[in-house]
Amino acid sequence: MTSRPISDQDLEILTGTAHPMLATEIAEHLGLALGPMTISRFPDSETYVRVETSVRGKDVYVIQPTCPPVNENLMELMVILDALRRASTGRITAVIPYFGYARQDKKITGREPISARMVADMLTTGGADRVLTIDLHSLQIQGFFDIPVDQLTAVGLLTEHMRKWDLSDSVIVAPDAGRVNMATDYAGRLGLPVVIVHKRRTGPERTQAAFVVGDVKGKRPIIIDDMITTGGTIGRSVTALMEQGAQPDVRIVATHPVLVGSYAENLRTSSITEILVTNTIPVPAEKQFGKVRPVSVARMLADAISCIHRESSVSALFA
C-alpha cells in the first residue's frame, strides 16, 4: 500500500523528543510537515510543552517511543497528551513504536507492580483516545487498555530484508519459549525450520540459556526476538548454539533495538555476522558497530496513520 498525501486541514503529526527523525520520516511519507511544538525543561528538570498551532477538533498523532530514558520519554508523552486534551483536540492517537514497561506485564512474586497495566491506565487517563504501536512484548497488553490499540508487526518488513540473504542451511531460533509464536511466523514466511533455546531468567537483567531444542549441527542460525536490550539473551543463545555445533555465522533479527548496558560486549562476538533491527528506537552510528542494520518502520506507520485517519481497515495493511 502506498501513502497518499493527505490534507493537513484536520490531521496533525506531532513529535516528542524521543525520536524526531522517525517522526519527520513519517510526516514526509504523508506529505505533511510536523506540527510546531515547544518542548523544554524547567531548571528543576520538569517538562514544559506548548503546541504551537491550533489543534481544536483535529485528528492528532503524537510520535513518541518510550525508549530509554524511559521515564523521561513517558512523562514527556503524558505532558503532551495533557496539553492536547486541554486544547480541545478532536482525537488523540499516541503512536508508541516501542512500548516501554511492556515486560512488567504480570506479577512473578508478591508485592510487585504490573507496570505495563499502570502505563496503559496513565495513557488513557492522560487523554489518549487510541494507541498505535509495533510488536508489543506480549499481546495481552492490548487488553490492559480500554481504548483501541492498533498493534502492527515488523515481521513482514524484516522478512522482506531476510529474503535477500543466503538462507541455505538456515534455521530460525526462538531464544526463549515466549518467542516461539514469533519464530514460527518467521519460519513459515521463509520456509525454514524452528529451533528453541530454553532460557531461564535469573533476575531482571540476568538470563541463562540452558539447552537447545532441535538440530543445529552445521546450521546457520537466525535468532529472532522482539527486542534486544542488554544482548544477554542473544549472547547466551549464541553460546548454546555454538556448543551444539552450529556454524559461527549467526544472524540476529529483532524489532526493537533497545541496546543498553553490556549490549556491545554481548553482541560483538565474531560468531554474530549481522543484526537486523528496525528504527522504532533511534540507533546512533556508535551503536551499530558495522553489524546493526536498522530498517525503517516509517512507511508502515504512515500507512497505518493514513488508514486510521480515513477510518479504513488497518489490518488490510497486512493483506
Summarize as ranges the residues that interact with ligand R5P (CB under 6 A).
103, 175-176, 178-179, 207, 225-233
Q: What's the min distance (Å) between Cβ of 69 and ligand R5P?
A: 17
Nearer residue to ligand R5P within complex by CB, 127 or 175: 175
* Shortest reach from residue 206's CB to ligand R5P, in Å: 9
Q: Which residues, in sequence order, are CB contacts of 319 under 8 Å at separation 6+?
A: none
Separation CA 317–CA 225 (nearest Å): 22
Q: What is the dihedral of CA 137, 140, 146, 151, to 10 degrees?
A: 50
**CB closer to ligand R5P, 106 vs 293:** 106
DSSP 8-state class, residue 168: T
Active site residue 107: no
The answer to whether 227 touches 256, Cβ cutoff 8 Å, is yes
Closer by beta carbon to ligand R5P, 84 or else 227: 227
* 8 Å CB contact between 212 and 196: yes
Nearer to ligand R5P by Cβ, of 62 and 276: the residue is 276
Question: Minimal distance in Å, beta carbon 135 to ligand R5P?
Answer: 10
Which of 58, 107, 164, 199 is flagged as catalytic? Answer: 199
**CA 271: distance to chain centroid?**
25
- Min dist CB 232 to ligand R5P, Å, is 4
Spell out the residues 6+ positions from residue 124 whose beta carbon is closer than 8 angstroms to its own. 145, 146, 147
Q: Residue 25 or residue 176: which is nearer to ligand R5P going by CB?
A: 176
The answer to whether the beta carbons of residues 41 and 48 sit under 8 Å apart is: yes
Q: What are phi and psi of 271, to 5 degrees?
A: -70, -25
Amino acid at 301: L
Q: How many CB atoms lie within 10 A of CB 296?
A: 16
Q: Minimal distance in Å, beta carbon 182 to ligand R5P?
A: 9
Q: CB 217: neighbour CB atoms within 10 A? A: 8
Question: Which of 228/308 has CB closer to ligand R5P?
Answer: 228
Nearest Cα neighbor of 293 from 247, 260, 252 is 252
Instruction: Give the orientation angle of helix 180-190 with respect to helix 155-162, to 10 degrees.
Output: 40
Residues acting as catalytic residues: 199
